[in-house]
Chain A
Amino acid sequence: MKKNLKITTLSNGLKVLLKEIHTAPIISSWLWYRVGSRDEVQGRTGISHWVEHMQFKGTPQFPANMLDKAISREGGAWNAMTYLDWTAYYETMPADRIDLALRLEADRMVNSQFDPNEFASERTVIISEREGNENEPLFLLGEAIQQTAFRVHPYHHEVIGDMVDLLSMTRDDLFDHYRSHYLPNNAVMAVAGDFDTNSMLGRIRELFEPIPAGKEPARLARQEPVQNGEVRLSVEGPGATSYVQVCYRFPSASHPDFFALSVLDSLLAGPSNLNMFSGGISNKTSRLYRALVDKEFAVSVHGGAQATIDPFLYSITMTIHPKRKPDEALRALDREIERIKQEKVTKAEITRAIKQARALFAYGSENITNQAFWLGYSEMFADYNWFESYLDKLSAVTVRDIQRVANEYFKSKSRVVGTYVPMDGKA
C-alpha cells in the first residue's frame, strides 16, 4: 500500500479513498457528488447549490438545526461547496469524534427531508447570497463573460444560478435533483487523518454499503462549438474603478497540455493556487505584473486556471490604473501574450515555476483538511494519481511545450474580453 493510501469501491459503487496521516489527532472526511452547476438545464440554474443548502435542513434522525450543532459541539469544522462539476461536503473533527460525521453523511445521502417551510425560507437566503455577489463588480463581469463564452455547454451560468430561476424553482424540482444525483455510485468518499485504515473502511462499509445504488445520472455535456472571433463585452455598474477580464479557452484538467499551461500560468501571472485551505504567494515578478503593474497600466493583475472536467476558461483579471484606459492595459497585455508566443522562455523560468509548485504543495500539506480535499477533488476531474504525479508532470515540461501551448491556447479569436465600466455616480 503506497503512502498509507487505500482506494477501493464498495459493492454499491461508492468509491472510497483513505489516507492515514498521524501528525495530529484530527480526521477530515469528505463526500463528493458528481453533480454541479453544469448538470442544470435552463429554468433550473442554481439547483445544485440550493440542494447543497437543503442538505443542512435535516433528516428524521438529524433534524434541521440539530445537525450543525452536533458537529460544532464536538469541535468540528464543516462546510459544503458547489462548483461547476461537483458538490462536496466535509467535516474535520477531533479523531475520536469522526463517527458522527460518517453517520451524518450516510444519513443525508438518502434521508434529507426538503421540508416545504425550510425550502421556502432558504429561497430568500440564496437570493440574499446572490445579491451579496451582485455587489461585487467582478462577479457581474465574470457572469457576463461566462454566459458569453458558453452558449451551448452548460458551463454557461454561475453556480449560484439566475435570479429568475431562484424565484421560480419548486421544492419538488429540488427533491428530484437530490434523488437522482445523491447516489453512492455517483459519489466519492475521501478521508484523511489519524485513523487505522481497516477499521475506518469497516465503519464506512457498515454505514454506506446498505444504501442501494441507483441509476447513474447522465451528465450534461453539449460540446461548445469552436469560437471564431474575439468577443468583447462590457458591464456598467457603480464605482470608480475599471476592470478588464480576458478569458482564453483552456483544456480539461486531465488533458496532457494542462501541465504545460500550469507552468505558463506561473510565468505569466504567478502560480494559481489550487489548494483550498492554504494561501498562495505573490506574483510581483511575473511577466504580466512587470508589464502591466510596474508600467502602471494596472494596479493589479491576476491569472486564474481552474481544474475542470470539460474545457473551461483561463482568466486574466486586471484592475485598471486610475490614470489609464482599459484599452491601453489590454494592448499592454497583448504585447506580453505575443512575446510569449514568439520568444522562447528560458529553462530557468520553468525550474522556477516547479519550485513554486513544490512550495505550494508543502504549504498545502500542513493541514489534514487540505490533504483530504485533494484526495477527493482530484477524483472529480481525473484521479488521485493526477495529484500525486503533478510535480513530476510539471518537471517534464519543456521550453518547446510552453511555446506550443502559448500559441495553441492563447488565441485572440477564441477569447472573450470583458470590461467593467464604472459609472461613478452617473448610473
Chain B
Amino acid sequence: MNASKTALPGPNDIHREVLPNGVTVITRSNFNSPSVVISGYFDAGAIFDPDKKLGLADFVTSALMRGTRKRTFDQIYNALESVGASLGFSTGVHKSGFNGRSLAEDLPLLFDLLSEALTEPAFPKVEMERLRAQIMTGLAIRAEDTSEMASLVFDQILFDGHPYSRPEDGHPETVAKITREDLVGFHRGHYGPRGMVIAIVGAVKAEEAVRQVKRALGGWQVKGQKEAPELPGVKLLKRTIKKHHRIVGKSQSDIVIGTNGPKRRDPEFMPALLGNNVLGQFGMMGRIGDVVREKSGLAYYAYSSLSAGVGPGSWEVNAGVNPQNVKRATDLILDELKRFIDEGVTEAELADSKANFVGRLPLSLESNGGMANALLNIERHDLGLDYYQRYAELVNKVSREDVLITARKYIDPEKLAIAVAGP
C-alpha cells in the first residue's frame, strides 16, 4: 500500500488558542476538499429552563437565526443558501451548540452570520409565532414516535427529580407559555463568550481561522453571564421500575431498558465503553443483537449504548419489536444483562472490541465534521491535545477484570428502568 497520511491529530497539528474574552478556538487544517466546518458550544443549555417554561433554551437557539438587528430571517438564509452553506443551532442539557459548513471561500460569511445570531438576535414576534407552530408540530410528531417516547419515559424513570429527566424540547404546555420577553431575557442572561468553544476544520490555515473568530467574536463582552446551577446527584433506583406509555394504532413498540452509567471523565468510562461494545454493538449489535435479532428474529434493531457526559450518564438497551413480543424481547435482554455481570466478557471478545475501536478511529476522523467533533470532545472533557494519539494505548490497557468491575458497579438487574412505548 502507498505511503499516506497516517498521523492522528495531536499537539503538532492542532492549534488551540483562548481569546482574551474567553472564547476558545481549536482548529486543524485539511486541504483535501475545498470545504470547511465550524462547530462549537456555549453555556446556555436547557439546564437553565424553569420547569414551567421547559423548552425555552431550545426555543432561543431555534430563534437565533430568525432575524438579527442587521438581517431578516429571509436575508440570513438567502446569504447562506445562495452559497450552498449551512448553519444551525441546537440545545443540549448543559450546552447549546452550532454546526456550520461552507466552501472555504465562504468562511467569512459563515462567521458573520454566526456572530450576528449569537450576539444580536432580534427575535421578531412574527417569526417567533411561526417557529412556535413548527415546534408544536414537532412535539405532536414526537408524541406519536414510539422510539422517542420510550426514551423520554426512560429518562423520567431513571433521572426522577433530576434535570436530566426533562426533554430539552419541552412539552406543548410549557412551550405554549414562552413569551418573547422570555427569549430576550434568556439570551441576555446566558449568552456570552465565557465558556464558548469553536472548532474549525477544513481548507483554512490555523492563523486565518483564528483571525476569523477574532474578527467575528473577539470583541464580544457580556457582563453578568450566569453560572450554571450546580448539578444535583441522581437518586439510584431502589428497584426495577416499568412504565408502558400507550400510543394507539402503531405496528411496533419500542423498548428501552437500562440504568445509570459513568461520566465521561470517570476512569470507568473506557472499560464501560468496551464492555458495551461487546454487549450491544460489536458485529451486528453485539450479544443483544445476536440473541434478539439473529437467534430469535424478534427485532430489526436491538442494541445497547452508553451516554456519558459531564454528569451521570445512562447505559441502555434499545429494541423495536412487535407489540406482542415486548415481554419475550425484554426477558431476553434481561438475561443478557445478567450474563454480562455474571461472566463479564471473554478475552477474545475484549480483543475484538479493542481492535474495532482502534481500527475505526481514522474513519471517524476522516470528514471535517468528524474531526471537529473530536476536537470538541477533547476540549469539553479536557482529554489533552494528544488524546487521539494516546487512544490506542488507553483502549488496550483495559482488562477483562476492569470491564467486569465496571459492569457490576453500574448494572443491577434488579434495579432497572424499563420503558415501553406502543399500543
Which residues on A are within 8 Å of B, measured CB to CB? Answer: 20, 22-26, 56, 64-65, 68-69, 72-77, 92-97, 120-129, 131-132, 134-135, 137, 194-196, 237-241, 270-271, 278-286, 290, 293-294, 296, 299-300, 319, 321-323, 352, 355-360, 362-363, 365-368, 423, 425, 427
> Contact between A281 and B86 (Cβ–Cβ < 8 Å)?
yes
Q: Could you list 12 A-B pairs, sorted by A, with CB under 8 Å?
A: A20-B2, A23-B4, A56-B284, A68-B283, A72-B356, A74-B355, A75-B359, A237-B249, A238-B247, A355-B83, A366-B32, A366-B367
Nearest Cβ on chain B to A19's Cβ, whole angstroms: 13
Nearest Cβ on chain B to A122's Cβ, whole angstroms: 7
> Contact between B363 and A194 (Cβ–Cβ < 8 Å)?
no
Residues of A within 8 A of B248 (CB): 238, 425, 427
Residues of A within 8 A of B187 (CB): none
- Given A278-B367, A321-B133, output 17 extra A-B contacts at Cβ < 8 Å: A24-B366, A65-B294, A69-B283, A72-B356, A75-B358, A128-B252, A137-B144, A194-B2, A195-B2, A196-B1, A238-B247, A285-B81, A294-B130, A299-B133, A365-B33, A366-B35, A368-B366
> Contact between B300 and A358 (Cβ–Cβ < 8 Å)?
no
Residues of A within 8 A of B300 (CB): 125-126, 128-129, 132
Q: Is B360's beta carbon under 8 Å from chain A?
A: yes
Residues of A within 8 A of B359 (CB): 73-76, 93-94, 97
Count A-B pairs with CB separation below 8 Å: 217
CA distance A194 to B4 in the complex (A): 7
> Contact between A282 and B355 (Cβ–Cβ < 8 Å)?
no
Assess A24 versus B1: contact at CB under 8 Å? Given A296-B130, A299-B133, A322-B137.
no
Chain B interface category by residue count? 35 or more
Residues of A within 8 A of B1 (CB): 25, 95-96, 194-196
Q: Is B314's beta carbon under 8 Å from chain A?
A: no
Nearest Cβ on chain A to B372's Cβ, whole angstroms: 11
> Contact between B366 and A323 (Cβ–Cβ < 8 Å)?
no
> Contact between A65 and B283 (Cβ–Cβ < 8 Å)?
yes
CA distance A286 to B320 in the complex (A): 36
B window 294-311: CB within 8 A of A: 294-301
B window 72-119: CB within 8 A of A: 73-74, 77-78, 80-86, 88, 101-103
Nearest Cβ on chain B to A33's Cβ, whole angstroms: 21
B window 327-371: CB within 8 A of A: 352, 355-363, 366-369
Assess A132 versus B5: contact at CB under 8 Å? Given A74-B355, A75-B358.
no
Assess A22 versus B2: contact at CB under 8 Å? Given A128-B300, A131-B251, A299-B133.
yes
Q: Is B321's beta carbon under 8 Å from chain A?
A: yes
Residues of B within 8 A of A22 (CB): 2, 4-5
> Contact between A72 and B283 (Cβ–Cβ < 8 Å)?
yes
CA distance A161 to B146 in the complex (A): 23
Nearest Cβ on chain A to B416's Cβ, whole angstroms: 23
Residues of A within 8 A of B80 (CB): 281-282
Residues of A within 8 A of B32 (CB): 23-24, 365-366
Residue from the set B84, B251, B357 with the largest chain A CB neighbour count within 10 Å:
B84
> Contact between A296 and B84 (Cβ–Cβ < 8 Å)?
no
Assess A362 versus B133: contact at CB under 8 Å? Given A95-B1, A238-B250, A355-B82.
no
> Contact between A121 and B35 (Cβ–Cβ < 8 Å)?
no
Closest chain B residue, CB of each to CB of A124? B297
Residues of B within 8 A of A280 (CB): 86
Residues of A within 8 A of B252 (CB): 128, 131-132, 134-135
Residues of B within 8 A of A239 (CB): 140-141, 144
Nearest Cβ on chain A to B89's Cβ, whole angstroms: 12
> Contact between A356 and B84 (Cβ–Cβ < 8 Å)?
yes
CA distance A296 to B81 in the complex (A): 21
Residues of B within 8 A of A26 (CB): 362-363, 366
- Residue-wise, chain B 224-264 has the 8 Å CB interface mask toward A (1 for contact) of 00000000000000000000000111111000000000000
Residues of A within 8 A of B102 (CB): 359
Q: Is B20's beta carbon under 8 Å from chain A?
A: no
